[in-house]
């Protein structure tokens, strides 16, 4: 038998190289090679097959002979999380929950374990904390621990044996980067270890109809540590977003085989754990300044949920030849496009000013329907004319300055009316196709120029 050797594996396409390379020659990814240790002979191949293969004799079955499971989804008890999952945990599914350290992943899973324990058997596997540490967190969160089993183990062979012994309905692994197999000659967290141990959990879930939640670490680039293949292997990938200094957290689905990827869940971190935010729009508008230039409200659609956010802009003169452009919450290229349209069509001189654009609350607005609100906020800051507090802007901005139609306008308008807005700037084509009845004045505009009359007069210096 030959000894061990060090190779470098691309985390994107699993290409192996004997030396480190800056760019993968197969997939073209930069800085994707990670060091791993493997055996020159394929000695653990049989052991890996034992981990990866599903036990039993499997034969092709006619589609008409397939049987539905006794239950398809299990509600986690947190409606915000169930919304993102598409209604709850699916039988035999594997969910990957990723987030930065300290964001609240373990807290969320401990709360889920307590709720699921009322009607399901839950096995919580921790590779990072001791039993005493888990007990302290459970008491702080008020977790009773009914039907909850805790296992502090990192060896995959022992974990699979304990799963067969406990026979849980839900398995939570915190985290997948700490689990390893003694048949694979590499350190825990290495690309090979993460791939093989995750595959063992996936096969166990599909074979025994167990719902599995895997916790994944996030590296400094903001992606899930380990091979990119891990995201393709699981059924759903959830990102837990937010700043540790702030109290609000957002769960977003990047991949979901059993539901939409457009839904988000909003939570608030408190001393007693995570609390659901049933009305995120009010949370995002809390503390909004009154009659302040550079501020405009917008309604965006996150799946089936309309959310009202606050867009703030700051335009200030600069003495440097290259003005600065900073965008937080809105795509930087989208900001540059809006600035070019405003400068070309309205003759506004943004090229001689620094421009800062921000979405309050850490929300990221990806849809084009937020263009009109961003444009009004930029114009308001440049001209020092505030947008009235009861005005909300909805619409996509074209390169000719026209306001294009958007989807789901009726839901957006009703949400704005519910929160007290009296006027809504909307694309005229939406009203031309289908009139909308709402307790709010609809200001139909064909271009961004038509919305300028809504801006308040500039205050005269005293």
Contact 240, 99 (CB under 8 A): yes
Tell me, yes or no, whether 125 lies in a domain: yes
In-domain check, residue 118:
yes
Residue 404, CA distances (Å) to 17, 67, 304, 307 in order: 50, 48, 21, 20
How confident is the model over 106-156, as pLDDT tens digits? 899 999 998 888 888 999 999 888 888 988 888 888 888 788 999 999 999
The residue among 250, 229, 295 whose CA lies nearest residue 81 is 250
Whole-number pLDDT of residue 11: 76
Looking at the structure, do residues 87 and 212 belong to the same domain, yes or no?
A: yes
Per-residue model confidence (pLDDT) at position 461: 47
Tens of pLDDT along 253-275? Answer: 889 988 888 788 888 888 888 88
Residues 266/310/246/113 CA torsion (nearest 10 deg): 0
Query: Strand ranges (DSSP E) for 303-394?
Result: 305-317, 325-328, 353-359, 391-393
The answer to the question of residue 25 being in a domain is yes
Residue 426 inside a domain? The answer is: yes
By the 8 A CB rule, do 173 and 201 touch?
A: yes
Domain limit, last residue, from 277, 298, 326: 277
Pair 138, 145: CB distance under 8 Å: yes
Whether residues 270 and 313 share a domain: the answer is no
The answer to the question of residue 459 being in a domain is no
Q: Is residue 462, in this structure, part of any structural domain at all?
A: no
- The mean pLDDT value for 174-202 works out to 86
Assess whether 304 and 227 both reside in one domain.
Answer: no
DSSP string for 270-310: ETTEEEE-S-HHHHHHTTPPSS-TTEEEEEEEETTEEEEEE
Three-state secondary structure call for residue 187: coil
Q: What is the mean pLDDT of the chain?
A: 86
Strand partners, 64: none
188 shares its domain with 297? no
Same domain, residue pair 304 and 220: no
Say how far apart CA 158 and CA 1 lie, in whole Å.
27
Q: Which of 277, 309, 324 is where one domain is finished? A: 277
Is residue 409 within 8 A of residue 417, CB to CB? The reply is no
The pLDDT confidence band at residue 26, using thresholds 50, 70 and 90, is: confident
Please tell me the pTM assigned to this model. Answer: 0.72
> 237 and 144, same structural domain?
yes
Closest CA to 121 of 141, 149, 90, 142: 149
Judge if 252 and 345 occupy the same domain. no
Burial 301-318 (b: 16+ CB within 10 A, else e): bbbebbbbbbbbbbbeee
Contact 330, 432 (CB under 8 A): no
Statement to judge: residues 262 and 289 lie in one domain: no
pLDDT for res 448: 92
Cβ contact 341:304 at 8 Å: no
Is residue 81 in some structural domain?
yes
CATH of the domain at 352: 3.30.230.10
pLDDT reading at 49 higher than 70: no
Same domain, 208 and 246: yes
Supply the CATH number for residue 259's domain: 3.40.50.300
pLDDT attached to residue 46 = 47
Residues 410 and 358 in one domain: yes
Whether residues 34 and 87 share a domain: the answer is no
Same domain as 173, residue 258: yes
312 within a domain of the structure (yes/no):
yes
* Lookup result for tokens 């985390």: 11
Residue 433 phi, psi dihedral angles, 5° rounding: -75, -40
Final residue of a structural domain among 250, 277, 304: 277
pLDDT of amino acid 126: 92
Residues spanned by the domain of 411:
283-454
Query: Helix crossing, 45-52 with 191-208: angle to 10°?
Result: 40
pLDDT in the model for residue 203: 93
- Cα–Cα distance, 265 to 441 (Å, whole number): 30
CA distance 298 to 372: 8
DSSP code for 83: H
| 172: phi then psi, degrees, rounded to nearest 5 | -115, 125
Number of domains in the chain: 3
């Amino acid at each position: 038998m030959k000894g061990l050797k060090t190779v470098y594996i691309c985390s994107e396409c699993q290409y192996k190289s004997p030396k480190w390379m800056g760019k993968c020659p197969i997939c073209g990814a930069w800085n994707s090679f990670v060091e791993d240790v493997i055996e020159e002979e394929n000695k653990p191949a049989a052991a890996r097959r034992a981990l990866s293969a599903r036990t039993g004799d499997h034969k092709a079955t006619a589609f008409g002979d397939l049987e539905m499971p006794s239950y398809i989804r299990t509600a986690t008890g947190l409606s915000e999380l169930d919304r993102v999952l598409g209604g709850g945990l699916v039988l035999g599914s594997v969910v990957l929950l990723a987030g930065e350290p300290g964001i609240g992943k373990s807290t969320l899973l401990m709360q889920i374990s307590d709720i699921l324990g009322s009607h399901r058997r839950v096995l919580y596997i921790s590779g990072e904390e001791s039993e005493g540490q888990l007990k302290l967190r459970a008491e702080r969160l008020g977790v009773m621990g009914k039907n909850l089993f805790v296992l502090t183990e990192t060896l995959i062979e022992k974990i699979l044996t304990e799963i067969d012994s406990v026979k849980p309905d839900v398995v939570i692994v915190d985290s997948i980067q700490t689990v390893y197999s003694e048949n694979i000659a590499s350190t825990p967290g290495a690309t090979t270890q993460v791939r093989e141990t995750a595959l063992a959990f996936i096969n166990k879930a599909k074979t025994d109809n167990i719902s599995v939640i895997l916790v994944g670490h996030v590296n400094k680039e903001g992606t899930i540590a380990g091979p990119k293949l891990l995201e393709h292997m699981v059924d759903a990938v959830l990102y837990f977003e937010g700043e540790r200094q702030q109290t609000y957290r957002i769960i977003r689905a990047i991949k979901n085989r059993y539901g939409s990827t457009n839904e988000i869940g909003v939570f608030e971190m408190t001393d007693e754990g995570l609390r659901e935010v049933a009305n995120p729009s009010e949370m995002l508008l809390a503390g909004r300044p009154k009659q302040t230039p550079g501020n405009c409200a917008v309604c965006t659609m996150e799946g089936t949920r309309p959310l009202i956010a606050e867009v703030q802009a700051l335009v200030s003169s600069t003495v440097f030849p290259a003005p600065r452009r900073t965008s937080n919450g809105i795509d930087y290229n989208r900001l540059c496009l809006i600035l070019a349209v405003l400068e070309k069509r309205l003759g506004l001189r943004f090229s001689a000013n620094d421009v800062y654009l921000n979405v309050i609350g850490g929300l990221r607005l990806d849809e084009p329907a937020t263009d009109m609100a961003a444009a009004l906020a930029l114009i308001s800051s440049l001209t020092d004319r505030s947008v009235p507090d009861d005005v909300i802007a909805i619409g996509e901005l074209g390169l000719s300055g026209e306001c294009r139609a958007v989807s789901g306008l009726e839901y957006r308008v009703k949400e704005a009316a519910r929160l007290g807005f009296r006027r809504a700037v909307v694309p005229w084509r939406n009203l031309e196709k289908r009139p909308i009845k709402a307790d709010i004045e609809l200001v139909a505009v064909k271009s961004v120029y038509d919305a300028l009359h809504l801006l308040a007069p500039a205050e005269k210096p005293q």
